[in-house]
A and B are shown apart, each in its own frame.
Chain A
Amino acid sequence: MRELLLCAPDYYGIEYEINPWMSRARGAETELVKSQWQGLYKTLVALGAKIDLVPPQPKLPDMVFTANAGLTVGRQFIPSNFRHQERAGEAPHFARWMESRGYEVLWLSNELYFEGEGDALFGGDALFCGYKFRSDIQSHRAVADMLGCLVISIELVDPRFYHLDTCFCPLPGNGAIWFPAAFEEYGQRAIRGHVSDLIDVEEEEAKTFCCNAVVLGRDIVLPEGAPNLVRTLESRDYRCHQLPMSEFLKAGGACKCLTMFLPQREKV
């Protein structure tokens, strides 16, 4: 059974603008926020996941996006060093919670930006890490040193897809869903070289954040609005669970951003 970390959206809202999706003029509707988050929670529970909840904190509206808490491998947790001051306050809360649950917390040095599972996803036997908009490539090296695994560093080039988990989603059996145009040529080649079965997503569907999906075995929880991808996945015997995510998309997040695996991998 997979264990996931979520954070209730009690304080969620569009209070600043740190990515192209965010506009304070276009706030989130509280009731919809609640029902959409509950929808995700219930879906994950129904799929057999064990859900842990970290207590939300006032003035940290994006804490709901737990994928950016850090990266967990086995019993080790590498907390994020957020690039934006607006989110930096989340880190100690996540770290304390993880520590209280018995995880060993491995801090990166302060000058290395790293935004956790949002930019670090295992696929096959490699850890794919995105860089430029949020995480720095220098942090990848430090993570590789800490974990002793192969890290494939990929430059992100489209500001709309500012975290790796917004445009790349590993699938079991060395596959992945991805939006190729979010990467430059070398990044695309590196991904093609390490992932044998790639499912391309077209731009219209990528914009619905369909790559921001939670994969639990053959079950894939993703935002609604990507019928072509869903058809492709279903033809490959995946079960797709499409959820409304409009209110979280306003902050540039969706299903995957709202969850962190505990751990993402047992070992590397």
Chain B
Amino acid sequence: MVSETIQLRGHIIDSLTLPKVLDEILTRGANFTMLEVKIGQRRADQSFARIEVSASTHEALDDLVLRLRQHGAEVEDKGDAQLAPAPADGIFPPDFFVTTNRQTFVRIDSKEYEVQPPIMDSGIAFDLANKKARTVKFADVRKGMEIVVGHQGVRVVPVQRTTSRTDVFQFLNANLSAERPKGAVIREIAREFETARKENGKLLVVAGASVVHTGAAEYLEQLINWGYVDLVFAGNAMAVYDIESTLFGTALGVNLEQGTLADGGHQNHMRAINIVRSAGGIAELVKRGTLTRGIMHACVKGGVEFLLTGSIRDDGPLPGVITDSLEAQRVMRQKFKGVTLALLLGAMLHSFAVANLLPASVRTLVVDINPAAVAKLTNQQTFQALGLVTDVEPFLRELVHCLEQLRAKQK
């Protein structure tokens, strides 16, 4: 997307020039953001509007602006973004531009470059030789790197809210508290899953250990087996309990069938870790036929990518778990490409980490029993986030049920 800011002045309300210009923008497949409107107070007073117009290509934008000029639009002169060299490795120059998770462009030599990938809380490095703008985290900063400073020449594209009521994410755009019925929403979400799959969008699941603890692993396993899931992010714990439950029938020593403490159950997760470590990894364990079901098994069998990252309180960890958190961020960022839908399931801290890295364009569904976690996560993804305050097990059970019905209908 490329953009220009135009100004309209005159009796643009009485002459209907303003609605006409907006209509023209939309009719030509472009978009606008109203930056400022001042309406004249008296009859003879002129009005004023500043509008940011964005189109998919430079040519389309030029054509459109040419047409809008006929209606009196004047194009605002935009300055280039300012660059300053990073003073040292890992240090941004003062006044560096801090990114949001929205699509962002920088203007250099009067041309706009899209910043890739859109990640919040980063700086923007501009590669003058290759004319590329990218987000960089502290750890990526190298001395002398050209970093965007100030706000001039930086354009952040707001996520447009659709007016369509059919999009459950944007229409609800809110959190459903524990007291509200969720059946209808879950049905809509099931439809979103189907749509995402048809449109080849990637679905990311961030799963907390609670998925296993609450006995919902079999439903997530089902979603993976049906092919809805493309990418799973989890901590060491989720994988450990999933494997423990397959090998011993317990999760952190609790019998999943009866909900009672198993004798000597507290040892089970340690033994499970040891078995995986001895085998050399989860995939190895599946290959040997030791791990025959569960979430991790479904991922390995179905070739679904998974990324396990560690935390301070981890036991083990399992082989393959990334314990360097900066490295974990880096790998996560690489894997986001193509993700259109993210399902954050009962993994508060892990979900915060992922949400920090997600572009605003990804539709995000947060399911957590803790209302505060849901509120914080959906706030971060203001426009396309939907939060459900509920235990993950009933949610996943209902979702699988809805998908089953949809699939039956399609057959």
Contacts and interface: CB of A to CB of B under 8 A. Distances in A.
A126 B20 CA distance: 20
Contact of B44 (A149, A154, A189): A149
Given A148-B44, A150-B43, A137 B14 contact: no
B19 interface: yes
B70 interface: yes
Interface in B31-84: 43-44, 46, 70-72
B15 A190 contact: yes
Contacts of A149: 44
B44 A186 contact: no
Given A141-B10, A144-B44, A144-B46, A153 B17 contact: yes
Contacts of B9: 141
Contacts of B277: none
Contact of B71 (A137, A148, A150, A151): A137
Interface in A230-259: none
Contacts of B11: 140, 144, 150-153
B129 interface: no
Nearest to B19: A186
Contact of B14 (A131, A136, A194): A194
A83 to B, nearest CB: 13
Interface of B: 9-11, 14-17, 19-20, 23, 43-44, 46, 70-72
Interface string A178-208: 0000001011011001100000000000000
7 contacts: A137-B17, A141-B10, A145-B46, A152-B11, A186-B17, A186-B23, A190-B14
Interface of A: 125-126, 131-132, 136-138, 140-141, 144-145, 148-155, 184, 186-187, 189-190, 193-194, 268
A190 B18 CA distance: 12
A148 B10 CA distance: 11
Query: Is the contact region of chain B dominated by helix, strand, or loop, or is it mixed?
Result: loop
Given A154-B15, A155-B20, 5 more contacts: A140-B11, A151-B15, A152-B11, A152-B15, A184-B20
Q: Which 6 A-B pairs have the closest CB atoms?
A: A137-B72, A186-B20, A141-B10, A153-B15, A186-B16, A190-B16
A105 to B, nearest CB: 22
A132 B70 CA distance: 7
Contacts of B17: 137, 153, 186
Among A144, A148, A186, the most chain B Cβ lie within 10 Å of the Cβ of: A186
B138 to A, nearest CB: 49
Contacts of B15: 151-154, 190
Nearest to A132: B70
Nearest to B40: A150
Given A150-B44, A153-B10, A153-B11, A137 B16 contact: no
